[in-house]
Amino acid sequence: MSYRSGRHFLQIPGPTNVPDRILRAMARPTIDHRGPEFRTLAREVLDGIRMVFQTHQPVVIYPASGTGAWEAALVNTLSRGDQVLMIETGHFATLWRDVAVDLGLDPVFIPGDWRHGVDPDEVQSRLVEDSSHAIKAVCVVHNETSTGVASRIPLVRKAIDRAGHPALFMVDTISSLASMDYRHDEWGVDVAVGASQKGLMLPPGLSFNAVSEKALQAHAKAELARSFWDWGPALTANQKGMFPYTPATNLLYGLREALEMLDFEGLPQVFARHDRHAQATRRAVDAWGLEVLCSNPDEFSSAITAVMLPTDQDGMAARLLEIVLDKYDLSLGVGLSKMAGKIVRIGHLGDFNDLSLIGTLAGVEMGLGLAGVRHQSGGVDAAMSHLAA
């Protein structure tokens, strides 16, 4: 490979670019994870992460990917054979369903078209039908990374309440946490799943469960096998500023730095920045004469935009991805499973500003031309006009 000057534009929907100050924070000597210095670090990140989830309840931190936190949410609250209501909003909602099957749970899976989020009325209807309360949990992906569709979590909570159903409410916030407004306590979520490599601006390797009091009560009765994922030992150790296993110390250094950055900017400003960049991206897509995969404007993601390519131009998605990487050192997200070869995904989350977005969109627009994708010019101009307004 020839030398490439400048920075690599990593504009997949995660992992995202890691800021230099976080990289520097992680480049410290590892310390004794049972000593007083570590206890201070642990208490700082355990307190700080609650701010991001907007909760007063405990948050368990795992040295794992988001998939681990998916499993932890299920094994800590459920028993073999329990029914869980899950909705097909995209690739990752489907994978979470697969985890439930592997654990011996019985998912009630509502099919979807990958262009819409969770239908609260459908959730209410299914729960009303479940008069025996066989369904023990409702599992929803907040921001579906594979599609750029954001389900409306407060409306799903209201649907559960209208049904008068006691099911736990679990939400995957992996690509929305610290990028889009998520309010664990206010929205009545029982278990939230998060991960480090998206809005938190860290490398992969940390994941989270934010838990409610109702979830802790379910934990006391749950019978699925658990050891590493068990909330009990983690919460007990956390009270002393410790972990029940060797923690990812240097990632925790990075997390502390990320939390300071988010607190300094302020969560409302973080969310507004992501909203603004998403709006500018959609202006560009519209000017190109292309279509955003998400069909409902009320469900547009502020973290990622999935762009549909002309259906009569086979192979264009792969060609576009190859060209922008080769010519402009720009990585975009591929289409996953059902959307493979049909879309490209533009990530605009994490440590990201106006010029980063314009550079990304310029690379996409030039790539569309070189790849021979049928489109109109002017997308970058449309985005710049929106940002400058």
Is residue 168 assigned to a domain? yes
Is residue 277 assigned to a domain? yes
d(C-alpha 309, C-alpha 170), whole Å: 33
pTM for the full model?
0.97
> With contact defined as beta carbons under 8 Å apart, do 149 and 294 qualify?
yes
CATH code of the domain in which 271 resides:
3.90.1150.10
Q: Are both 284 and 247 inside the same structural domain?
A: no
Supply the pLDDT for residue 4.
85
Letter for the amino acid at 167? A
**Based on the number of CB atoms within 10 Å of its own CB, is 305 exposed (0-12), middle (13-18) or buried (19 or more)?**
buried
Q: Are both 228 and 319 inside the same structural domain?
A: no
Is residue 32 assigned to a domain? yes
> With contact defined as beta carbons under 8 Å apart, do 184 and 334 qualify?
no
Q: Are both 249 and 355 inside the same structural domain?
A: no
DSSP secondary structure string for all residues of 42-54: HHHHHHHHHHHHT
> With contact defined as beta carbons under 8 Å apart, do 190 and 169 qualify?
yes
Q: Are both 212 and 89 inside the same structural domain?
A: yes
DSSP secondary structure string for all residues of 166-192: --EEEEE-TTTTTTS---TTTTT-SEE
d(C-alpha 129, C-alpha 48), whole Å: 41
Neighbours of 353 (CB within 10 A): 10
How many degrees, rounded to 5, is the angle at CA 255 between CA 7 and CA 301?
A: 65
How would you write the pLDDT of the chain (389 residues) with one tens digit per residue?
578 889 899 999 999 999 999 999 999 999 999 999 999 999 999 999 999 999 999 999 999 999 999 999 999 999 999 999 999 999 999 999 999 999 999 999 999 999 999 999 999 999 999 999 999 999 999 999 999 999 999 999 999 999 999 999 999 999 999 999 999 999 999 999 999 999 999 999 999 999 999 999 999 999 999 999 999 999 999 999 999 999 999 999 999 999 999 999 999 999 999 999 999 999 999 999 999 999 999 999 999 999 999 999 999 999 999 999 999 999 999 999 999 999 999 999 999 999 999 999 999 999 999 999 999 999 999 999 999 99
| Contact partners, residue 132, CB within 8 Å, separation at least 6 | none
Q: Are both 27 and 171 inside the same structural domain?
A: yes
3-state SS assignment for residue 350: coil
Domain boundary among 242, 263, 284: 263
Q: Are both 197 and 309 inside the same structural domain?
A: no
Calculate the CA dihedral of residues 360, 335, 282, 5 and round it to 10 degrees: 0
Supply the pLDDT for residue 1.
54
Letter for the amino acid at 183? R
Q: Are both 362 and 243 inside the same structural domain?
A: no
Q: Are both 236 and 271 inside the same structural domain?
A: no
Is residue 3 assigned to a domain? no
Domain boundary among 214, 246, 263: 263
Q: Are both 152 and 105 inside the same structural domain?
A: yes
Is residue 160 assigned to a domain? yes
Beta strands at 168-172 and 191-195: parallel, antiparallel or unpaired? parallel
Longest dimension (CA), the chain: 64
Domain boundary among 263, 289, 306: 263
Q: Are both 51 and 88 inside the same structural domain?
A: yes
Structural domain of residue 124, as residue ranges?
A: 20-263
CATH code of the domain in which 119 resides:
3.40.640.10
Is residue 139 assigned to a domain? yes
DSSP secondary structure string for all residues of 106-125: EEEEE---SSS---HHHHHH
Q: What is the number of structural domains in the chain? A: 2
Is residue 2 assigned to a domain? no
Is residue 185 assigned to a domain? yes
Q: Are both 186 and 275 inside the same structural domain?
A: no
Q: Are both 60 and 197 inside the same structural domain?
A: yes
